[in-house]
Amino acid sequence: SEFLLEVKDLRTYFYTEEGVVKAVDGVSFQINHDEILGFVGETGCGKSVTALSLLKLIRTPGEILSGEILFNGEDIVKKSEDEMLKIRGNSITMIFQDPLNSLNPVIKVGDQLAEVYLLHQMEYLEDELVKAREKNKRLKENIKRMKKELKTGSSAGSETLKNQIKALKEQIKFRITILDIAHKESAALLDRIGLPNADTIINRFPHELSGGMRQRIMIAMGLACNSQLLICDEPTTALDVTIQAQILDMIRELKRKLKNSILFITHSLGVIYELCDRVAVMYSGNIVEYGKVEDIYNNPKHPYTKGLMAAIPRVSKASRESELMIIPGMVPNLIFPPRGCRFHPRCDHAMVICKKVNPPLKDMENNVQVACHLYDEDKSDPELYRKLTE
């Protein structure tokens, strides 16, 4: 299949006492091989529900009503729970916002992390084991050679030689197992994500760590799964800006190494700009703008996207500021969403047609797609295209 993931007209609804919550209401998008797609939007726009749908983790009263989720060409929607158990954490892994619910409280974090390596990166561990054993062999050969030298050589310098032998002997590790390698990799990963004293952290239980540390361990575990698709749902939101930047760097670096794909969900356009190749802007259960990050960042077309851009300080890539988006007006009720374009009560450009017809996503230049009547081709009916505020 051309795409790693192709979602077609996905609808995920929740049946509550108050009414049907149309959390995801006709969403289509693709994830290419070796790319990071960003989902951006306010709380409650359907980003997380879309992500949970991809793993079939929607629970009652929710349901995937219709649509297709083609992963490597196979429809996730049609898979049984048994089949999903094989997919989750293997070919698709999701890093959640809440690490306490995802880590096992009675197992030391180092052991949990090592287990992830054993489950998902056995081949890599085996290669590393071979390398470690070869290193041992070389050390032993060197020691043997030096001992010979010690016997035959003059007594001058023998003290130095003895010390060298001693130093080499200390480097030899007896009976290296795959588990040792898994632990070593885990500690190295914790080090890479900026956790100080990785050696002591791996011996702690989750409750003995701070929330920020747990969050970083979750991200490390997600990355260690080596999945074709990694879904990150606001994994850095609770962390401070410096650590956030460190983690984004780490995700980028590991992505380069693993050549996998990532769906990164965030409310921050700054994060999207730093990390992602393409972006889908979500509003009230729909994608309203979709395309390459650069195109959309440089030339946003949808009034909502423009609002997101205007509401944030224009941050340079270097400054790594995190920003809050503030767009006037209320986030729409998903049970009784506004008729027509759901953004119309908050839109400065709203026209008569916007109250009547929900605009479909439409192809623009550069493969950008936008759902907005401002870009309708036929505007011949002046009554429909009259601005509401005029």
**Binding positions for Mg ion, rule: CB under 5 A:** 48
* Alpha carbon distance 105, 108 (integer Å): 8
Determine the residue type at 129.
L
Q: How far is CA 34 from the centre of its chain?
A: 13
What token pair was written down for 178?
């795959």
- By CB under 6 A, which span of 140-148, 151-159, 175-183, 341-349 interacts with ligand SF4? 341-349
Residue 48 binds which of ligand SF4, Mg ion, none (CB < 5-8 A, kind-dependent):
Mg ion
* Alpha carbon distance 275, 251 (integer Å): 9
374 near ligand SF4 (CB under 6 A): yes
- By CB under 6 A, which span of 82-90, 230-238, 315-323, 343-351 interacts with ligand SF4? 343-351
- By CB under 6 A, which span of 40-48, 176-184, 247-255, 347-355 interacts with ligand SF4? 347-355
309 near ligand SF4 (CB under 6 A): no
DSSP, collapsed to helix, strand or coil, labels residue 332 as: coil
373 near ligand SF4 (CB under 6 A): yes
Determine the residue type at 50.
T
- By CB under 6 A, which span of 65-73, 103-111, 256-264, 372-380 interacts with ligand SF4? 372-380
Closest residue to Mg ion in the complex (CB): 48
DSSP summary character for residue 113: H
DSSP codes joined into one string, 297-328: HHS--SHHHHHHHHHS----TTT--------S
DSSP summary character for residue 378: -
Residue 372 binds which of ligand SF4, Mg ion, none (CB < 5-8 A, kind-dependent):
ligand SF4
Minimum Å distance from CB 48 to Mg ion? 3
307 near ligand SF4 (CB under 6 A): no
* Alpha carbon distance 124, 134 (integer Å): 16
300 near ligand SF4 (CB under 6 A): no
- Taking CB under 6 A as the criterion, the residue among 5, 195, 351, 368 binding ligand SF4 is 351
- Taking CB under 6 A as the criterion, the residue among 135, 192, 349, 362 binding ligand SF4 is 349
- Taking CB under 6 A as the criterion, the residue among 38, 110, 270, 359 binding ligand SF4 is 359
What token pair was written down for 102?
């995802």
The nearer residue to ligand SF4, 69 or 353, going by C-beta atoms, is 353
285 near ligand SF4 (CB under 6 A): no
93: left (phi over 0), alpha (psi -120 to 50) or beta: beta
What token pair was written down for 12?
């995920």
Query: Backbone phi, then psi, for 32, in 5-degree steps?
Result: -80, 165
Q: How many residues bind ligand SF4 (CB under 6 A)?
A: 14
- Taking CB under 6 A as the criterion, the residue among 222, 235, 291, 303 binding ligand SF4 is 303
- By CB under 6 A, which span of 64-72, 109-117, 183-191, 366-374 interacts with ligand SF4? 366-374
DSSP summary character for residue 261: E
* Alpha carbon distance 40, 263 (integer Å): 11
Residue 307 binds which of ligand SF4, Mg ion, none (CB < 5-8 A, kind-dependent):
none
Handedness of CA 116, 118, 124, 125 (dihedral sign): positive
Minimum Å distance from CB 49 to Mg ion? 8
Q: How far apart are the first and last CA of the chain?
A: 49
Cα distances (angstroms) measured from residue 227 to each of 37, 231, 260, 261:
15, 10, 7, 8
Minimum Å distance from CB 46 to Mg ion? 9
354 near ligand SF4 (CB under 6 A): yes
The nearer residue to ligand SF4, 300 or 303, going by C-beta atoms, is 303
DSSP summary character for residue 337: P
DSSP, collapsed to helix, strand or coil, labels residue 98 as: coil
Binding residues for ligand SF4, per CB under 6 A?
302-303, 341, 343-344, 347, 349-351, 354, 359, 372-374
